[in-house]
Amino acid sequence: MNNYLDISGVGIEFNTESGPFRALQNINLKIDKGEFISLIGHSGCGKSTVLNIVAGLYHATEGGVILDGKEVDQPGPDRAVVFQNHALLPWLTVYENVGIGVKEVFRKSKTRAEMREWIEHNLELVHMDHALHKLPSEISGGMKQRVGIARALAMQPKVLLMDEPFGALDALTRAHLQDSLMEIQSDLNNTVIMITHDVDEAVLLSDRIVMMSNGPAATIGEILEVDLPRPRERLALAENAHYNHLRQQVLRFLYEKQKNPADRQKRGFSATSDKASEVSKLKRDEAA
């Protein structure tokens, strides 16, 4: 079944004040059930737009998305989204934040006791069962991100969509969460699309890395198969020649084939501090 999620011929044009803007063109990607896909590409190329189309938040101008035989035309609980900045409701506890999604999905199929158990189980998966009754303001950024992931997992989505889920976290917290995510995914066999700017994260977690060309009219440039055996250990991989070869291929795509930010400035795009920090991060990656 190589067609669980089928993104086919997708393009999108936005109407902007200065006229139509073509963000994406002819995106084609078939994803297997249980596959972990990373989307990587320079800032502004259209990664979030792809995710938003799969989430049903944006409508493609051409082409479409089919998930498990059904066309995606609006948001639904079968596609849970985790954003970079944990969108928790600040007035609800950790438990209640996960509970909202669970009630939406399981109101008719689980009893109250079953729902309670399910909420607690998912918070255990992300090691947050010690803080059920805390408010978001009382926990750290990494913990909030864990709760966001638990909320998404608890909805048992067909696809988990993650937009730079660990982008705002320090390196150590990020590593812990990557490990948790790998464990959870090996248990549950979730189908995941994750956007990341982090080359190591992409290689560590993915079955395939989808590398996008620069916009406007961005499309898929290359797809890299990450054939490293699982479970994967970050320390062992650091010395693994094949791992290093794979990460070089991603770096080469980003720096040599899609040398983006400078080109874009020439074409009149402005470099935001966000883009500047991404470039310096990628440079650090390359130097490492």
Ligand X SMILES: Nc1ncnc2c1ncn2[C@@H]1O[C@H](COP(=O)(O)OP(=O)(O)OP(=O)(O)O)[C@@H](O)[C@H]1O
Would you tell me which residues interact with ligand X (CB under 6 A)?
14, 16, 21, 23, 41, 43-49, 215
Q: How far is the CB of 46 from ligand X (least distance, A)?
A: 4
Is position 190 an interface residue for Mg ion (rule: CB under 5 A)? no
> 139 CB contacts (<8 Å, ≥6 apart)?
94, 131, 147
Binders of Mg ion: how many residues, by CB under 5 A? 1
Q: Which residue is nearest to Mg ion (CB)?
A: 48
- In this complex, which beta carbon is closest to ligand X, that of residue 101 or of residue 165? 165
Q: How far is the CB of 251 from ligand X (least distance, A)?
A: 17
- In this complex, which beta carbon is closest to ligand X, that of residue 40 or of residue 160? 40
93 binds, options ligand X, Mg ion, none, Cβ within 5 to 8 A by partner type: none
49 binds, options ligand X, Mg ion, none, Cβ within 5 to 8 A by partner type: ligand X
> 6 CB contacts (<8 Å, ≥6 apart)?
29, 30, 31, 65, 66, 67
269 binds, options ligand X, Mg ion, none, Cβ within 5 to 8 A by partner type: none
Q: Are 213 and 50 in contact (CB under 8 A)?
A: no
Footprint (CB under 5 A) of Mg ion, residues 163-182: none
Q: How far is the CB of 202 from Mg ion (least distance, A)?
A: 15
- In this complex, which beta carbon is closest to ligand X, that of residue 46 or of residue 136? 46
What is the chain's alpha carbon radius of gyration, rounded to the nearest angstrom?
19
Q: How far is the CB of 197 from Mg ion (least distance, A)?
A: 9
155 binds, options Mg ion, ligand X, none, Cβ within 5 to 8 A by partner type: none
Site string for Mg ion, 13-52 (x = CB under 5 A): -----------------------------------x----
- In this complex, which beta carbon is closest to ligand X, that of residue 41 or of residue 157? 41
Residue 125 tokens read as: 């998966």
Residue 40 tokens read as: 């990587």
56 binds, options ligand X, Mg ion, none, Cβ within 5 to 8 A by partner type: none
- In this complex, which beta carbon is closest to Mg ion, that of residue 115 or of residue 282? 282
Positions that interact with Mg ion (CB under 5 A): 48
